[in-house]
Structure 1
Amino acid sequence: MNEAMSGVVEPVIAVINTSALRQALERRKRKINCYPRGKTNPDSLQIPAEWCKFQNGDPFIFHDSGAEDSGRFIILSSLFMLEKLVYGRTIAMDGTFKTRPRKWEQVFVIHVLINNRFVPAVSVIMAKRSRASYLSVLQQLREIMEGRFQVVWSPTLILTDFELAQRSAILNHFPVARHRCCYFHFAQAMQRWIQKVKLDQKYRTDVLFNEYIGLFRALAFMSSAICGGEIRQRNGLSWHCKTWIIKEDGTSPRFLIDIWNHSAEAMAGNPTTTCALQAWHRSINAATRERSHSMWKCLKLFKTEIGVISRNLCIQASSFSVPERSASKVQRQKQERLQQSIRTFSGTDLISGLQKITRTLRNLEGETGESQRQAAMAQEEMNNGGSIGNTRRRRSRNP
């Protein structure tokens, strides 16, 4: 719609029937892409058989709970990615809303860690985001995997955000697995609290207050057995304590320490954030460039994405040796620096140990921000005129 209206002057736009134009564009796209007719809302959608498989005949839609299910969900994957998921020890889960079909709630994606990199293995189009819906998805996936591979799906580490319904379903379905919530979301919650209570200015100008917040963020990498202590006695941090450590009456906080503490995972070299999932969601959103999507476009998009990922992993598996990705090498080096900061804690001076971890975290975050900025600049140069090398050569000739 936006592309069709680009270049049209305002007086012309004012007299155009945008609703009729949008419908005409939808009909045109449906004809070009051979999209089926009919309603695509959860209680009416009917998926033709040819849309349920890849071109080679392998299944693409592994389960559809049906129009009679008020919490309808559709599981999308490939046999290759399901096999990777069932044997994967570390998985991460996240939902995206920008690529969801119209009238549906979200696209829930499960990633599996392969060669130190999170790869999307299963996408689930969901009509609801309730605990019962998440539980139904996990139970159905376990049944599918047991039926296909005769293996019980039992990951050891699961990373998610802090969504209550999702966490509750995971704890119910995987009671033995270690469930951790993303450190990035933990730090983000601190920032949102600062904005909510209107302490932005104090955070920027008060060095001591800024340090207190930094120390609390660093607690995520301190042993859970010593979390609390001096931090609980600091003024102005009552919200942090009752939310993350312990309430004033001694009862459990809103989020248990084991949920957000990553000390053991960081020392083991395990991932502590779901930032890779967020980056993948952004790439998918950028590929669509629309605010809302038809069900058929969404299915086509994820079929292509799953097919490409499966093919690339097959090629890597067939090669004799896979060189370490430069990004993976940099990430490993950052993990080693954080581990060194954690090891230096003597067990006596808590504040000193937290300060060292805080400095390391801020240095790593600064390096990550700079690398992301350089990558964005490089992509902009590519978009504005050829390769990066050509752009640099033009700049050297034209100072």
Structure 2
Amino acid sequence: MAECLMDFERAMINSCLEAFPNVHVKCCWYHFVQALWRKIQKLGLTTSYETDPLVNTWFKQYMALPLILRRLIDDGLQLLKDTIPSNDYKYRKFLKYFEKEYIKRPSIDLWHHGNNDMKTNNSLEGYNFRLLMRFGLHPSIWEFLHFLKDEEALVSHLITHLVGGSGITSSTLVYSIMQCNIIVIGEWNYDVIAAAFLLFF
């Protein structure tokens, strides 16, 4: 069965399930952890999280729930309820928040990852950030076309590595980007492209 990994955005999840009913939707573990961290901050528990090892461990166990075996989640949740580090109302509010947002409303299967290889969509977020850094907010059509040409060359180079049986390491990626830079400079040297193109490279 095909899987779709995405952020915890209800509208996006519903749209995906409507358009692709046979797809198994999973939500990003990184965004799960970030949502819990924002709640910890909102409840004013940041200092306790940073200074009290029991509190820190308790919250991190919540953050790690998506990684344990599915059959152990109910027991894990009960254990966390039983070992609440303080009777302070803020911790009880966190318990209610977690139950409402991650137990009652969505399916546990939405955020449970277990043995899944892909637990986050960080690679996609990183690629989007890379595009933003290359393009800026409002690129001209020429910048856009130039970037697409360079991106196609980079992706083709990486695919060649994969098809040839080589893995893609960070050094392979750096090498590929450098190789594309060399190609562009070579094209400039032979007047294939204008010098103005190099200003946007």
Q: Residue 32 of structure 2 aligns to which amino acid in structure 1?
A: F
Q: 1:295 to 1:173 in 2, by over 3 A?
A: farther
Q: Distance in 2 between the 1:226 and 1:315 partners?
A: 42
1:280 to 106, 118, 127: 127
Match of 1:262 in 2: 113
Shift of 1:301: 5.8
Match of 1:192 in 2: 38
Kept after mapping to 1: 8 A contact 2:161/2:167? no
2:78 to 208, 229, 232: 229
Kept after mapping to 2: 8 A contact 1:157/1:178? yes
Kept after mapping to 2: 8 A contact 1:232/1:238? no
TM-score w.r.t. the length of structure 2 is 0.68
Match of 2:153 in 1: 308
Shift of 1:195: 1.3
Match of 2:101 in 1: 243
Q: 1:244 to 1:314 in 2, by over 3 A?
A: closer
Q: Which has the higher contact order (CA 8 A, sep 6+)?
A: 2
Deviations 1:210-268 (A, max 9, x none): 111011111111122331322244442222222212xxxxxx23x32111110041xxx
1:1-399 equivalences in 2 (<5 Å): 156-227=2-73, 228-235=77-84, 236=91, 237-245=95-103, 252-253=104-105, 255-265=106-116, 270-288=117-135, 290=136, 292-294=137-139, 296=141, 299-300=144-145, 303-304=148-149, 306-313=151-158, 315-316=160-161, 321-326=164-169
Q: Distance in 1 between the 2:100 and 2:83 partners?
A: 13
Q: Distance in 2 between the 1:305 and 1:191 partners?
A: 38
Q: Distance in 1 between the 2:146 and 2:102 partners?
A: 39
Shift of 1:314: 5.2
Q: Secondary structure at the match of 1:283?
A: helix
Kept after mapping to 1: 8 A contact 2:3/2:26? yes
Q: Residue 323 of structure 1 aligns to which amino acid in structure 2?
A: S
Deviations 1:62-86 (A, max 9, x none): xxxxxxxxxxxxxxxxxxxxxxxxx
Q: Residue 322 of structure 1 aligns to which amino acid in structure 2?
A: G
Q: Distance in 2 between the 1:305 and 1:208 partners?
A: 50
Q: Residue 24 of structure 2 aligns to which amino acid in structure 1?
A: R
Shift of 1:280: 1.4
Q: Distance in 2 between the 1:229 and 1:162 partners?
A: 24
Q: Secondary structure at the match of 1:187?
A: helix
Match of 1:71 in 2: none
Q: 1:301 to 1:273 in 2, by over 3 A?
A: farther
Q: Secondary structure at the match of 1:263?
A: coil
Identical amino acids, percent of aligned pairs: 25
Kept after mapping to 2: 8 A contact 1:232/1:241? no
Shift of 1:194: 1.1
Deviations 1:349-384 (A, max 9, x none): xxxxxxxxxxxxxxxxxxxxxxxxxxxxxxxxxxxx
Q: Distance in 1 between the 2:166 and 2:155 partners?
A: 19
Q: Distance in 2 between the 1:278 and 1:160 partners?
A: 10
Greater helix share, 1 or 2? 2
Greater strand share, 1 or 2? 1
Shift of 1:295: 6.2
Q: Distance in 2 between the 1:207 and 1:274 partners?
A: 29
Q: 1:220 to 1:297 in 2, by over 3 A?
A: farther
Q: 1:220 to 1:304 in 2, by over 3 A?
A: same
TM-score w.r.t. the length of structure 1 is 0.36
Q: Distance in 2 between the 1:287 and 1:308 partners?
A: 15
Shift of 1:168: 0.8
Match of 2:195 in 1: none
Q: Distance in 2 between the 1:242 and 1:294 partners?
A: 43
RMSD across aligned positions (CA): 2.8
Structure 2, unmatched stretches of 5+, are 85-90, 172-201
Shift of 1:327: 5.2
Deviations 1:165-194 (A, max 9, x none): 211111112222221111111111111111
